[in-house]
């Protein structure tokens, strides 16, 4: 019998086409694996075996006729931020308990149009606000990886930790995520996966529950660079329903994987050498530089001087947009409602009971920085800093084709070790990733090695806007050199 858990998306698609197994068999194995792991990993908000079997049956019929899309028959996990018609969509929040949209997000519709099979929604930090997947209303998601000789439960990263866990544990073959400040790339680094944040506007935000509209980027997780190139290609495309959607055609990124990187200029920004950065991260980064040099790239030292202001600017802009976006959750039209003595009391009780502590914290910060007395001092200044960061990248990309940095300042950490002690310490996990969101440029994390405890670490590739082709080329070159084959030892 086929060991489905070890297969990549590309291998699954090849096997289905060759009729080595059926989509129904694959869907059944996936649903069984998800149900068996849920008690230990807590990766899913819901599992829908019936829908998975129906979609898989339709895929088998198309494959039998020699038809089918680019993802025909492949089970894909969906972050619980994407609307799937008739399926509970909660953003892992009590305030959306029981909400079933009557519409389909554009990204998920693109996946279904190409034959992907839906089997589950994945847990996340509530409203995508978090870096550890500990703020979900259903409790923390557990990373399938463990440190050598330890039973301590680790975070999978956030906010898309459920998607990363489902894929890393060998349950799914691809997964959707959203990246507002690093919420795809950081979980990918923590779980030994490839995670991609495309250019802002490549993937439609229509039907995706909003956190910070100018920073939210839908994107995929994959086991390989080729898998993510295919998923990004399918998920992307112009959408007239999203005014920020890029109107250009979607290039063939799959064909970019494996192409030579000889002659490319790779920038190494000095500002990413942070004080107190673990030696293992520095060593891995240097190793990445050597790998690309050996592949024929030219290494260029560059400066991104506004980097130190990126995190403060992000934690003004993102909460400000969140406080505006989340104003719609008032218990009136959809989601949970707590009855009060009058309208205002109902609003207050609904939002007080519906939103978790981290979401409330960010709404309060956002409302504060947008208030009349502080708008100029905080929000307007943060927008000016954002512009400067964007200009930093533009200037850098006049000299280089891609930028190489670490993805995270550490490997996965223990559940509860940062969230309760100091929220600011948790925010620092996004220090290497937020700049790409602020500038709207594409970035990906590629698994590149293990730390001394046997936990995965990632390297980040950033390229100029709309140049995902170079990003996938460089990412694939790193993947080839790193030859990362490690997988979590099954304990769940």
- State mean pLDDT over 146-161: 96
Cα 67 from Cα 56, distance rounded (Å): 14
Cα-Cα-Cα-Cα torsion 422, 364, 370, 392, nearest 10 degrees, comes to 30
Catalytic residue among 59, 123, 132, 159: 159
Residue 1 has pLDDT above 70, yes or no: no
| More confident of the two residues 259 and 418 | 259
Residue 75: CB atoms within 10 A of its CB come to 31
Res 34: pLDDT:
98
The 10s digit of each residue's pLDDT in 198-213 is: 999 999 999 999 999 9
Cα 264 from Cα 205, distance rounded (Å): 32
Res 122: pLDDT:
98
Q: Is 183 part of the annotated catalytic residue set?
A: yes
What is the rounded radius of gyration, in angstroms, for the C-alpha atoms of the chain?
Answer: 21
Res 52: pLDDT:
98
- Whole-structure pTM value: 0.96
Residue 40: CB atoms within 10 A of its CB come to 13
Question: What's the pLDDT band for 335 if we cut at 50, 70, 90?
Answer: confident
Catalytic residue among 79, 121, 418, 473: 79
Q: What is the 3-state secondary structure (H, E, C) of 5-20?
A: HHCCHHHHHHHHHCCC
The 10s digit of each residue's pLDDT in 39-65 is: 999 999 999 999 999 999 999 999 999
The 10s digit of each residue's pLDDT in 73-132 is: 999 999 999 999 999 999 999 999 999 999 999 999 999 999 999 999 999 999 999 999
- State mean pLDDT over 287-293: 98
448: enclosing H helix or E strand = strand 443-450
Domain 1-492 has CATH 3.90.1300.10: yes
Catalytic residue among 92, 123, 163, 183: 183
Question: What's the pLDDT band for 422 if we cut at 50, 70, 90?
Answer: low
408: enclosing H helix or E strand = none
What residue spans define the domains of the chain? 1-492
Res 421: pLDDT:
60
Cα 393 from Cα 462, distance rounded (Å): 10
Q: Which of 2, 141, 143 is nearest to 79 (CA)?
A: 141
Could you tell me how many residues make up the chain? Answer: 492
Q: Which of 477, 442, 482 is nearest to 184 (CA)?
A: 442
Q: Is 159 part of the annotated catalytic residue set?
A: yes
Cα-Cα-Cα-Cα torsion 256, 261, 264, 269, nearest 10 degrees, comes to 90
Task: Please compute, for residue 483, the number of CA atoms within 13 A of its CA located in the half-sphere on the CB side.
Answer: 2
């Amino acid at each position: 019998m086929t060991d489905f858990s070890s297969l990549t998306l590309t291998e699954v698609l090849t096997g289905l086409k060759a009729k080595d197994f059926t989509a129904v068999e694959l869907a059944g194995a996936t649903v069984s694996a998800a149900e068996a792991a849920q008690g230990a990993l807590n990766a899913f908000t819901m599992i829908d075996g019936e829908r998975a079997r129906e979609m898989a049956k339709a895929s088998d019929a198309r494959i039998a006729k020699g038809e089918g899309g680019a993802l025909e028959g492949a089970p894909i996990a969906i972050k619980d931020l994407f609307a799937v018609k008739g399926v509970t969509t909660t953003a892992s929040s009590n305030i959306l308990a029981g909400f079933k949209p009557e519409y389909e997000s554009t990204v998920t519709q693109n996946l279904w149009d190409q034959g992907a099979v839906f089997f589950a929604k994945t847990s996340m930090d509530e409203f995508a606000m978090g870096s550890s997947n500990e703020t979900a209303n259903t409790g923390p998601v557990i990373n399938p990886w463990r440190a050598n000789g330890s039973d301590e439960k680790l975070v999978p990263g956030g906010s898309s930790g459920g998607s990363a866990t489902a894929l890393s544990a060998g349950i799914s073959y691809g997964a959707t995520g959203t990246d507002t400040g690093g919420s795809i790339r950081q979980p990918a680094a923590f779980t030994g996966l490839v995670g991609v944040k495309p250019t802002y506007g490549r993937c439609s935000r229509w039907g995706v529950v909003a956190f910070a509209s100018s920073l939210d980027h839908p994107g995929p997780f994959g086991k390989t660079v080729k898998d993510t190139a295919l998923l990004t290609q399918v998920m992307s495309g112009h959408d007239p329903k999203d005014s920020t959607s890029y109107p250009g055609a979607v290039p063939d990124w799959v064909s970019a994987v494996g192409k030579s990187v000889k002659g490319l200029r790779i920038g190494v920004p000095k500002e990413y050498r942070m004080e107190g950065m673990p030696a293992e991260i520095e060593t891995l980064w240097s190793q990445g530089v050597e790998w690309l040099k050996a592949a024929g790239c030219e290494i260029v030292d560059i400066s991104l001087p506004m980097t130190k202001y990126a995190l403060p600017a992000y934690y003004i802009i993102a909460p400000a947009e969140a406080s505006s976006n989340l104003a719609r959750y008032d218990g009136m039209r959809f989601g949970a409602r707590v009855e009060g003595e009058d309208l205002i009391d109902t609003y207050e009780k609904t939002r007080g009971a519906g939103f978790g502590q981290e979401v409330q914290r960010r709404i309060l910060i956002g409302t504060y920085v947008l208030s009349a007395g502080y708008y100029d001092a905080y929000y307007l200044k943060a927008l000016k800093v954002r512009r400067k960061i964007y200009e930093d990248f533009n200037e850098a990309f006049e000299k280089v084709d891609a930028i190489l940095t670490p993805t995270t300042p550490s490997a996965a950490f223990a559940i509860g070790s940062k969230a309760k002690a100091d929220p600011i310490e948790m925010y620092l996990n996004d220090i290497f990733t937020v700049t790409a969101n602020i500038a709207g440029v594409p970035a990906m994390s590629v698994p590149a090695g293990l730390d001394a405890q046997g936990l995965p670490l990632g390297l980040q590739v950033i390229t100029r806007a709309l140049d995902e082709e170079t990003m996938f080329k460089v990412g694939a070159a790193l993947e080839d050199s790193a030859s990362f084959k490690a997988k979590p030892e099954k304990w769940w």
